[in-house]
A = this chain, B = another copy of it.
């Protein structure tokens, strides 16, 4: 997990402080938005002095940007791992998509605040971290697109499918369903939600059960 540290040579102590700041920032920004969240709040929630924030990050924006990179990195790794595991176990491409849906749900289950914040920022324009966000988004979506393309090549998926758009739609399906789950029916189990989405993926909605 500490694989991608931004500043090589950072001590363990420093890394721990940064982690605390990430955790404090992610929930506050998810709740209130970037601009409405103050550096004082972040420091207080992290149990750290304000000066420490600026000792560790050049600015509020930079803290946020690194937080984004860090979080999407975790998601991308998780998606890729799910796809590779399915491959290794000899599953089909639909199985791989299904495994990635589950990986997505697990991620959102564990980091709901990060997901929320990511969605809120993704389609904004004219913001400082816009380019960072695009790069990082593409890394994640590319994993889904890759599986779709392999599926088409293998004859498992129709050649008519629009790979980027279908990937976006699948991501959206999981994202919105999961955020709704966490926001409005948090008592439901992950398996339950996963089953509902699997059904949708495999076109078992129309037609008798």
Contact = CB atoms under 8 A, between A and B. Distances in A.
B205 A157 contact: yes
Contact of A205 (B166, B175, B205, B207): B166
A164 interface: yes
A202 interface: yes
A190 interface: no
A125 interface: yes
Given A123-B179, A177-B172, A161 B31 contact: no
Interface residues of A, number: 61
Contact of A165 (B122, B171, B196): B196
Report, nearest first, the 9 A-B pairs whose CB atoms are least far apart: A203-B203, A172-B176, A158-B209, A35-B35, A168-B180, A162-B196, A35-B36, A169-B177, A120-B120
16 contacts: A32-B35, A33-B120, A156-B206, A157-B205, A158-B204, A158-B207, A158-B209, A160-B199, A161-B196, A165-B196, A166-B200, A166-B205, A168-B176, A169-B174, A172-B173, A203-B206
